[in-house]
Amino acid sequence: MSYERHGRGGGYRNKRNHYRDRDDYDDRRRDYESPDDKLKTAIIKLGEVDPIEELPRLEQQIRDHVPRNIPILSEAFRIGVTEQPYKIPFYAALLRLLHNPTELSIPGESPLGRLVLEDFWKGFQAYLDKVEWRETRLCIHFFAHLTVARLISTDSMFALLRSFTSVLDEFGVSHGRAKRAALCAGEGLLLAGPVLKAASPAITDEIITAIQTYADSTAQEKWLVSPSTRISNQMMPSDGTVELLDILLSSLVTLNATDFKDTENCVPQPYKNNEEIDSTVLTPYVLPAVLVPPEVIEIDSMSTESGEESQVKKDEWPEFFIRLFPDDVSPDPKSPPGYIVRTALLDIIDIFEVNRKECARLLLEYPKWNLPGTFKPKPGAPVESEPTPGKDWQLESTIIETVLGAYLILPESSKKSIYYIALITELCKLSPSTVGPAVGKSIRKLYNSLSDGLDVEAARRFAEWFAVHMSNFGFSWVWKEWVPDLSLPVQHPRRAFMRRAVEFEVRLAYHDRILKTLPPSMQSPDAYTIPEQAPSPAFEYDDPTNAHHDAAVAVLNLFRGRAKVEDVISHLDSLKSTLETSEDGHINVDSVVRSIVVQSLLHIGSRSFSHFLNAIERYLPLLRNLASGGISGSGGSGNPEAKADVLTAAASFWKHNRQMVAIVFDKLMQYQIVDPTDVVGWTFLNGVAVGQLAELAGPMNLSAFEWDLLKGALDKANGRVTIAKRKVAALRKEDDDARARSKARADETMEVDAEPKESAEDAVPAVPEKEVPQVENPAITTALKAFSSLTKEQKAALSRTLEGFVSCLAPSPTDTNANPHARTVITEAAWENRGNWGRDEWNAWETWGWYRQFCRAYAPYLRTYSNTLYAVSFSRFEHAKDPAADLLKLVWNIATGQEP
């Protein structure tokens, strides 16, 4: 018997044949490509080996291509410019070569390069009309290089840049729109500065001043989203973080002082290797005038199909990037070369989100597209050029700093968190010996910044990245470095980070596996770093000594036997009567019954997630009945006390697995057993009692766990409104289309019957069309009612959250369990004395951080109800002298766009 087919040899042979067949297929596919497609591909793939050497060969290939196809050429350039921006200088050089006359050129005929540029402009105009900011900005980069190459007139380039600075003067312009427009104008000037400053210093100064004026007007927004600012002081830190418009302005001011002569030391300009074009022979191309499309302002909140205005706009805040390394390791972003490098890397990260492996490869190959000597060569690689003074940076450290900076942008990163985390993993896999040390240094730098005021949301994301990254590399970390910090207060940011990171690691592996990676001092229960036991359910009534053990076993057996809902309700009626007549009559019988039912049901579903969903769905009527406040009958609209009991029972059952608490709460909201407002209210009152620190919870406060519960509830409420709005818009469009079709058919019928017969009916005057009553579609009526109900729910959830924060941070003397330090930690003197803070001070400080995150993350929703919410939550402080109330209102006003 032969084992070749099934053995390793056969498998290898089959795999080898598979790859050979695939290569043959690729070869055949290339053979089928048209000559136009092949040329287009060659242009897009410019520089895969050496861009400088490839330029003349590619130029000749383009010229030899017949028949000439200008749209294909310009499309290839547009793809290259907008999807491979690191190649833009070399595409500009290629277009410059295509402007050179040849022996076959006809006098007076436009050069090939000019024809391509004219068609390229059409694509740019399309990007602008669709308000595709990234593509628009990168095309302006291309035009800026062409201006330096003397292929575009300086006057028209000035006009293009000024059309974007005019956006900054629009009344009520959003920060997202203004920021994108400022980047288009500022980066265009940065690249084309050498010729623009020589042509008109006044207009150059005008553009810089326009950007500076707008940036100065956003000082308070910067304070709210900077990851290192203090709640006690609105002064912006001078180091540690940089803001995008600020570093652009810093670079422009630096270059402007030297008439932009240093631009050539910041970015490649390969087109300068060619002789300047004689303007008497070929006049520079004049860019057509443009008008940046106005911002769409939604007047009727129900008039759009997409409902995108209900989504959190992620670019409505200044963008702050964390700095992790000194200027001799990674470039200073405030310097022109540093700005060029950082934005180039950010563009690669942004564009190649669809392929993190390709993104990692391109990031590590970036020095190929920058000036020689900008980065240190890889260890062992030949030194091709001498290090440039003031540069010679470490590539891997620069990349990691840029990726983490984008990941930690507040209030939310532009991409999903997992993308940045996975990208760093791919970088480590491609070059572990060089990227690994940079990652380790970044972790230590971020950890040290935790006690210096790193924003709570940034700290939460840091713990998430740390845990996932460790899971990809065997959970190996030098935990003993942080053992001395176990002497800090239990709620100190560093100890909180260790606790959260370990909790995330346990979710990604299992308890014993993570326990073994920690030093003995961290394994101790007194260290409060890792729980004593693995995440597991805690069925309160499993203990035979529990007073209600027998009652719970009876209910549990009903669930195991898949009893009908009616039978369970009948049994619960009997159980309630028994408990009421027992010696334990002083207890809240309804709460006990709800706890027994919910915990028994969760116990049935604790084996797996599918078991949990099956149990919930099977007994949905029972759970809704419980949440209505009754044990029998058909239930009601809901009872706050009953819903709180349901949530408390669920949290108690999963108190050793806080991840499951969030999951169960989400499903209870999804099945409408509880409302988001119920979860918000429960979280502020009971959240701190869940988990390993229940005995150390102390006064009312919020940590990352409670924030996750709040965020889940708010996202649920907001998401429902968005879905309802889209449904109404879709139904209205369908109804309008149906009416239009019906009217069209009626018009066609009238046209066919050209000579109607006379009848008595002709004497009756026709009812004008506008007076015909429009019957509302029943489906639309139902959808509108649902939308109205969900909008009220959204408003209630936001209001309850704001009220909860106010109660935590500015408690009244009658509030129970208030944190006495909520008002003291917000002073500058208290912050300087943070080394002596205890548990309650750090609790209060973190709660203030989550209030800031709530206001900035949900600002688009809060603005909708700003007047009502302000009146409900802040009116009590109208004439009071309360520093906590003043700070609450300041953060609120900045987030909602009110006058502070």
Distances (CA, A) of 238 to 322, 456, 463: 12, 20, 25
* Residues 6 or more apart whose Cβ sits within 8 Å of residue 436: 428
Distances (CA, A) of 207 to 105, 143, 152, 168, 292: 40, 17, 19, 11, 16
Residue 30 pLDDT level (bands cut at 50, 70, 90): low
Question: Helices H, strands E: what count in the chain?
Answer: 36, 2
Residue 772 pLDDT level (bands cut at 50, 70, 90): very low
* Residues 6 or more apart whose Cβ sits within 8 Å of residue 731: 777, 779, 780, 783
**pLDDT for res 900:** 59
Q: Which of 55-64, 311-320, 355-364, 889-898 has the lowest mean pLDDT?
A: 311-320
d(CA 428, CA 437): 10
**pLDDT for res 796:** 95
Closest C-alpha to 665, from 650, 677, 652: 650
Residue length of the chain: 900
d(CA 380, CA 705): 47
**pLDDT for res 162:** 96
d(CA 505, CA 819): 31
**pLDDT for res 395:** 96
Closest C-alpha to 198, from 137, 147, 162, 247: 147
Closest C-alpha to 165, from 135, 188, 191: 188
d(CA 427, CA 810): 46
Q: What are the structure tokens assigned to 513, written together? A: 């596996």
**pLDDT for res 31:** 58
**pLDDT for res 105:** 62
Give the distance between the most distant pair of CA atoms in the chain. Answer: 110
Instruction: Quick: pLDDT tens for 820-863.
Output: 899 999 999 999 999 999 999 999 999 999 999 999 999 999 99
Q: Which residue bears the tokens 């030098």?
A: 478
Over range 544-561, report the average pLDDT: 92
Does position 530 have pLDDT exceeding 90, yes or no? yes
Strands (E), 173-302: 241-243
* Mean pLDDT, the chain, integer: 87
Distances (CA, A) of 1 to 4, 8, 13: 9, 16, 19
Q: Which of 21-30, 207-216, 262-271 has the lowest mean pLDDT?
A: 21-30
* Residues 6 or more apart whose Cβ sits within 8 Å of residue 17: none
Instruction: Quick: pLDDT tens for 258-280.
Output: 999 999 899 999 998 888 777 76
Percent residues over pLDDT 70 in the chain = 87
Closest C-alpha to 305, from 891, 613, 736, 869: 736
Instruction: Quick: pLDDT tens for 111-141.
Output: 899 999 999 999 999 999 999 999 999 999 9
Strands (E), 745-883: none
- Alpha carbons within 13 angstroms on the beta-carbon side of residue 254 total 18
Cβ burial, residue 723 (10 Å; 0-12/13-18/19+): middle
**pLDDT for res 7:** 42
Closest C-alpha to 837, from 334, 475, 491: 491
H/E stretch holding 322 reads strand 320-322
Does position 576 have pLDDT exceeding 50, yes or no? yes
The answer to whether the CB of 319 falls within 8 A of the CB of 414 is: no
In sequence order, what DSSP letters do the residues of 523-566 get, joined into one string? HSGGG-SS-SS-S----GGGSTTSTTHHHHHHHHHHHHTT--HH
Higher-confidence residue of 32 and 615: namely: 615
Q: What does DSSP say about strands 320-322 and 241-243: parallel, antiparallel, or unpaired?
A: antiparallel
d(CA 47, CA 91): 10
3-class secondary structure, 761: helix
Q: Which of 4-18, 156-170, 480-494 has the lowest mean pLDDT?
A: 4-18
Does position 636 have pLDDT exceeding 60, yes or no? no
Give the 3-state DSSP-derived string for 52-89, with helices as H, strands as E and coil as C.
HHHHHHHHHHHHHCCCCCHHHHHHHHHHHHHHCHHHHH
Q: Which residue bears the tokens 């050209």?
A: 754
